[in-house]
Amino acid sequence: MQKITRDQLITKAVELLSNGTVSAVLGWKKGEFDYDITPAVFTTEEEINNGFVYNDFCGANFSKYLVAKTKKLEGKILVFLKPCDSYSFNQLLTEHRFDREKVYAVGIGCEGMADVVKLKNKVDGIVSIDYNDDGMYVDTLYDGTVKVDYAEVMAERCINCKSKKCVAYDELLGEDGEVIDSARFDEVASLEAMTPDERFAFWQGELSRCIRCNACRDACPACTCEKCVFDNPGSGVENKAPVTSFEEQMFHIIRAFHVAGRCTDCGECSRVCPQNIPLHLLNRKFIKDMNECYGEYQAGAEVGSRAPLVDYTEGDLEPGEVFERGENDA
């Protein structure tokens, strides 16, 4: 459950709107069932009071929206950044994707967000969700009110949270946290420990479910190309279903390569996947490899940092060593 409350955020949003600091607020809008929350742009106090919510289902990362929204708006837009969102925010600034002057960023602490899929796998027929001092209570269609242990429905990306520290903001609500020495690479390590055939089978099993809806790409804060190769009719691979399963796998692998060094590991790709494919593991593999080959690097930790893949140092791994590493893996 979040320590930051809806009321705190509303107060802040209304204050910044009414004193003219911002002309719009990027926030979360309530849905039908307390868990189906939609990112929305609010421009009036009334809209905010009527629709703004904040709870454990506000996982969406707003940073990418700033690319489009700052282009359209007169004045500044207020954005609330959870720690992991703030890394994406910095990374987008590093890539000059939006004008920092057009944004007022409020950092907010985060206790980890819930995973709706996990919740739905536990509880059937969710009518509404309430909180008591001791946790989450779900009103259901069939089983009355069910108490849910928050730890059991926390998103994987939050269980393996890499940082509770907001790395970008104009103002911080609540207390800042620390970078965490998380276990996020454990699952990658277990994939690495597989034989190539096992690993191939694992990914084939996962990626074969892909329906090529492009949600992973469209939600990804690192995917901000003006024209994605997969949208370009001339590329021959425009956003369409593939001819072969090989091609399907290539879509994800190409995307993982393209965001390598820029992916902050925010986990949006896996959150939005309608088929629950653990896409973040592909990106984490890259992050882990880069950490091992070039030293620890966290994309988005600060603005303007040079990612290992675009930064030459004399200590860089020689191509031959990389090749050998691959040989040993196989």
Partner 1 sequence: MRKLSLDNLNKFFAAVAESKTIYLPVDQKDGSAKYAKWAEGTEWSNALNTVRSPKDLFFPQTEDLMEFKTEGKNIEIIDIRKESEDFVIFGVRACDVKSFEVLDRVFLSEPVDSFYASRREHAIIVALACTRPSETCFCTTFGIDATEPAGDVSAWKTDSALYLKANTEKGEAFLKSIEALTEDADTAEVDAQKTKTAEIMKKLPLADLTTDAFGGGKTEELWNNPVWDEMSQTCLGCGTCTFVCPTCQCYDIKDFNTGNGVIRYRCWDSCMYSEFTRMAHGNNRLSQKERFRQRFMHKLVYYPENNEGLFSCVGCGRCLAKCPISMNIVKVMKKIGGDK
Q: Name the residue among 199, 210, 195, 289 with its Cα closest to residue 242.
A: 210
Residue number with CB closer to partner 1 (163 or 264)? 264
Residue 147 within binding range of partner 1, rule CB under 8 A:
no
Residue 156 within binding range of partner 1, rule CB under 8 A:
no
Rounded Cα gap, residues 27 and 65, in angstroms = 11
Smallest separation, CB 165 to partner 1 (Å): 26
Angle between helices 196-207 and 245-259 (to 10 degrees): 100
> Which structure tokens are listed for 90?
């910095």
Binding positions for partner 1, 44-73, rule CB under 8 A:
60, 65
Rounded Cα gap, residues 28 and 40, in angstroms = 6
Q: Name the residue among 60, 25, 88 with its Cα closest to residue 271.
A: 60
Rounded Cα gap, residues 76 and 3, in angstroms = 27
For residue 66, which amino acid is it?
L
Residue 135 within binding range of partner 1, rule CB under 8 A:
no
Strand partners, 26: 41, 79
> Which structure tokens are listed for 26?
């990027």
Residue number with CB closer to partner 1 (41 or 293)? 41
Residue number with CB closer to partner 1 (50 or 322)? 50
| Candidate residues 218, 288, 307, 309; the one interacting with partner 1 per rule CB under 8 A | 218
Residue 120 within binding range of partner 1, rule CB under 8 A:
yes
Strands 38-42 and 24-29: antiparallel
Smallest separation, CB 51 to partner 1 (Å): 10
32-34-39 Cα angle (round to 5): 80
Residue 271 within binding range of partner 1, rule CB under 8 A:
yes
Question: Which region among 15-23, 27-35, 258-266, 290-298 touches partner 1 (by CB under 8 A)?
Answer: 27-35
> Which structure tokens are listed for 230?
């997969």
Residue number with CB closer to partner 1 (69 or 164)? 69
User: By rule CB under 8 A, what string of x and - marks binding of each residue 172-211 to partner 1?
Assistant: ---------------------------------x---x-x
Q: Sheet harboring 38-42: ordered strands across?
A: 38-42, 24-29, 77-81, 103-108, 171-173
Residue number with CB closer to partner 1 (260 or 272)? 272
Binding positions for partner 1, 229-268, rule CB under 8 A:
231, 233, 238-243
Residue number with CB closer to partner 1 (121 or 190)? 121
What residue ranges bind partner 1 (CB under 8 A)?
A: 31-33, 36-41, 60, 65, 117, 120-121, 124-127, 141-142, 205, 209, 211-215, 217-219, 231, 233, 238-243, 271-272, 274-276
